[in-house]
Amino acid sequence: MFASRAKYLPNERSPATIEDSESFVAFIVQERANVIVRLRTRAYEAFDGEAKDQALMRLLDRLAKFLNVLEEAPMTNRVFHGSNLAQILSDVANDPSLSPHGCKAAAEELLARASQTNYGAAERCSLDKPKLGTGGEYGHGNHTPGDRWPKNSDVVSAKIHRLTQQGIDGHALSGTYSIVVKHQSSGGLNEDKGLVIEYSTVGSEKASDDAKVPAPNRATFSLRASLLNKRPVRVLRKAGAKKGDRWGPKSGYRYDGLFKVTKATEMPRPNNNALYESFTLERLPLEDNMGWSLQDCIDGQRRFARE
- SS3 for 147-212, per residue? CEECCHHHHHHCCCCCCCCCCEEEECCCEEEEEEEECCCHHHCCEECCCEEEEECCCHHHCCCCCC
pLDDT tens per residue across span 152-173: 999 999 999 998 878 999 999 9
Q: Are 12 and 74 in contact (CB under 8 A)?
A: no
CA distances from 119 to 71, 77, 111, 226, 285 (A): 10, 9, 9, 21, 38
pLDDT tens per residue across span 9-36: 999 999 999 999 999 999 999 999 999 9
Residue 230's pLDDT is what? 93
Distance CA 191, CA 276 (A): 14
Look up residue 168 and give its amino acid.
I
Residue 134's pLDDT is what? 63
pTM listed for this prediction: 0.89
10 Å Cβ neighbour count for 105?
12
Residue 307's pLDDT is what? 42
Please state the domain extents for the chain: 3-120, 148-299
Residue 132's pLDDT is what? 62
Distance CA 29, CA 7 (A): 17
pLDDT tens per residue across span 128-160: 887 666 667 899 999 999 999 999 999 999 999
Strands (E), 203-270: 233-238, 253-268
Distance CA 259, CA 265 (A): 17
Q: Is the pLDDT of residue 255 over 60?
A: yes
> 3-class SS at 14?
coil
Q: Which fold has domain 148-299?
A: PUA domain-like (2.30.280)
